[in-house]
Structure 1
């Protein structure tokens, strides 16, 4: 009887281990996104969309369209009642080396955006500027784009940032009508730091 019970116990242990081995691995936690309240303050409150899979239809990144792959990517859009808007796009690269390469690609696109837009749109005045590195995780970098279209009288200002935590890269854009003097650069730096810190 003792031998029979021992055999049953051993069989139960083996079956239990087999069940653990075949159970699906718990899905890794997805990178977290900014909340509406974490965007730079505005005269009217921000609202945030749900989190979507892939990239926005236009490629998601003014100055860097179609640079961010749709695979393993999600995004959230932000708006106010005025003409202020934004987006956060986050992607998990296959390797950390791939993430580093993507950050470099996005930074080059943002730095050269103004001259490229002027070349593509005769008459448009566009100035890009780099605003340094934010000390967070593997780093984040902030850029601006100031555009003016004399033919229609529109002026727009955008702020961008690209940051990385391991294999995860996040891109944040803020924009509104106006000039660079209207841009909340310091607040956007804080938003950028929060965005990268929230990834994992």
Structure 2
């Protein structure tokens, strides 16, 4: 109905800047496992159907021979993990590693070890009006370019200029996007990451979000 939007304000998930700016370190063994390749695409979070990690595995399989120096790391747990680990093993994919979850206080330390980050979704009209995963502000703050496999509305990666968005559940386009980022200069990738950090500080800082809510309550 006309005018209803005037009574609605969306407040997203955010980050505590003090927390993400001083993350806890990871064990050296964990770091060694990630830095086996020249270029690493990483993911942190749940490994479930809705996270489309299967699409990342398919993309990794497509480029395992043409780009053996690109590695893939998924950190987390979920109902799809065992199946996907078997898929990787059956395909002799030495370019893909699954690791155990890390503490929330260590997430930024993990993200800092990656050259690019993956964020994926299903191709579903559920996302027509946007998304609000807590990893979005964490990814953007990390100052790493984001590869967003997404076909919904209100795309924060596109809005921030922090990476590239390709259609959801399209492994071939995902593989191409990964190679395109790999072929960028470090300076070009850093520029994307810096846009993400700036966007996170402007739009996802919990102090600013709290102030926004406070102002709304008083108005």
- Normalised to the residue count of structure 1, the TM-score between the two structures is 0.25
Which structure is higher in helix share? 2
Highest Rg: 1 or 2?
A: 1
Higher relative contact order structure (alpha carbons within 8 Å, sequence separation ≥ 6): 2
Structure having the higher strand fraction is 1
